[in-house]
Amino acid sequence: MTAKTVLWEPTLDADAQRWRETARKIAAEHFAPLAEELDREQRYPHEHIKTFVDTGLSGMLVPAEHGGSALSMTAITAVVEEVSAACASTGAILAAHTLGAVPVRLAGTEEQKRDVLGPLRSGEAISFALTEEGAGSDAAAIKCRAEADGDGYRLTGEKIYIGNGSISGRYVVFAKTDPDAGARGITAFIVAADAPGVTIDRIEDKMGIRGTRTSNLKLDNVRVEADAILGQPNRGLKLALQTLDLGRVSVAAQGLGIALAAYRLAAAEAVRRHTFGKPIIENQGIGFRLADLAVDLSAARMLTYEAARAYDAGQPVSLPGAMAKLHTSEVAHRAVDLAVQVFGGDGFCKPCPAERLYRDQRVLEIYEGSSEIQRLVLSRAVAAEHA
Ligand code: COS
């Protein structure tokens, strides 16, 4: 812990530090000033994508040989934290870019990587399309079918809650190729947004992160060639779960940003606002909650940067990622709740940023594996270790 800050600060290498500075600068200049407007108008910020392209952040996950910036997961964590602290919607848009690209990075052929990852650098997004009605937490229960058709396949079904849906140029779609084989009968396909039979007819009206676009994805007998298969046939669920392992670190980074923004707002207001002749932070009911939050947030940062470090070191990220996401999203919950409480009546009304953060935080405990799923993953690991 440095002398200057109460919160624990990660020690970053020069590269990650440089990316963090870049993210901090563009977040202050471009993202924070529009955060309230994006929320109010539920508007997707196309202009921010241009900023991502100009700075190289659109290619943060793209390997250098495909023209990308190839950031470490540690640097991505720092960037997503900074961007989310300024505007939770913009942080989520950046993280969703990561989620769709991860399965291609993990399992794509050289040609698929060139085709899909290259355009990411120039701002095209690729979305991850797994969830269906009745198959969110129970990912193996999806019903979307991919039936063999000559050299290729025909896909039929409907995906929901697609991050960056209707914005992305391509989707990684998970579909059943062997319906009787359960978890071992799912295959991942790369599907172009403009393929005949692909439609989007629902954009969600969300409680929070309202600047993001979340849609359904209907597939009506969509023909894809065999080279659209990503990774091994019938091993798509494994690929989806490996992708989510990493996606959860990004969600934890979003949580750090939201928690940090709420902590800073709450602390400044608790020092500024006086009741009964003294700043409200001097009342233990408020001051001690801020102290607990400083501890919680420091611990959340340690868990998240440790998960990112594990990934960068080639170590398994499933359990550290689950811990980071679970803890950070719940710390963010406590942080936004405290911020609203400290602002009192103002905190309950728009356009107080605490009110927006309160709504933006909630999805962290739901998407990319709910808190219950993280506890399931962790409790199974505890049981296995002690069997
Ligand atoms: N990475 C790679 N493979 C994994 C994995 C992981 N993190 N977790 C499980 N697997 C593998 C298992 O090894 C098993 O493989 P085999 O068939 O070779 O044995 C297969 O996946 C199925 O695993 P399991 O039997 O544990 O699956 P379950 O259906 O019991 O459930 C959970 C697994 C609940 C952990 C999984 O469905 C999950 O994470 N669900 C949440 C999905 C989610 O996050 N949805 C949000 C979508 S994005 S908004």
- The model's pLDDT over 65-96, given as tens digits with 9 standing for 90+, comes to 999 999 999 999 999 999 999 999 999 999 99
**Spatial CA neighbour of 251 closest among 88, 117, 27:** 88
pLDDT of 239 higher than 50: yes
Angle (CA) 74-76-77 rounded to 5° is 65
Name the one residue in this structure whose structure tokens are 């039936």. Answer: 147
Q: Band of the pLDDT at 3, cuts 50, 70, 90?
A: low
pLDDT at 97: 81
> What domains are defined for the chain?
14-125 (1.10.540.10), 127-236 (2.40.110.10), 238-386 (1.20.140.10)
CA distance 385 to 214: 38
Lowest mean pLDDT among 94-98, 129-133, 337-341, 346-350: 94-98
pLDDT tens-digit readout, 218-237? 999 999 999 999 999 999 99
Full-model pTM: 0.97
Give Dmax over CA atoms of the chain in angstroms. 80
Separation between Cα atoms, residue 330 and residue 332, nearest integer Å: 5
Given this model, what pLDDT does residue 1 score? 47
What residue owns the CA closest to ligand 1's atom 11?
238
Instruction: Give catalytic residue positions.
Output: 368
Nearest CA, atom 42, ligand 1: 137
User: Any idea which residue has 């955060």 for tokens?
Assistant: 35
Q: Looking at residue 161, what is its pLDDT? A: 98
Nearest-atom number in ligand 1 for the CA of 318 is 7
Of 142, 206, 241, the residue with max ligand 1 atoms within 8 A of its CB, to mutate for a pocket test, comes to 241
CA 237 – ligand 1 centroid, Å: 7
CB-CB neighbours of 126 under 10 Å? 26
Instruction: Say which residues have a Cβ less than 8 Å from residue 225's Cβ, sequence separation at least 6.
Output: 151, 152
For residue 179, report the distance from its CA to the centre of ligand 1, in Å. 17
> Is 14 a residue whose pLDDT tops 50?
yes
CA dist 366 and 380 (Å) reads 20
Regarding the beta carbon of 241 and ligand 1, being less than 6 Å apart is answered yes
Compute the CA torsion angle 32, 367, 162, 339 (nearest 10 deg).
Answer: -20
pLDDT category, 98, cuts 50, 70, 90?
confident
Q: Which residues contact 314 (CB under 8 A, 6 or more apart)?
A: none
Token pair, residue 94, equals: 């950046």
Other CB atoms closer than 10 Å to residue 305's CB: what's the count?
26
Q: Which of 130, 164, 238, 250 most suits a substitution to test ligand 1, by most atoms within 8 Å of the C-beta?
A: 238
172 CA from centroid of ligand 1 (Å)? 17
For residue 320, whether the previous peptide bond is cis, meaning omega lies within 30 degrees of 0, is no
Classify burial at 382, counting beta carbons within 10 Å of its beta carbon; exposed 0-12, middle 13-18, buried 19 or more: exposed
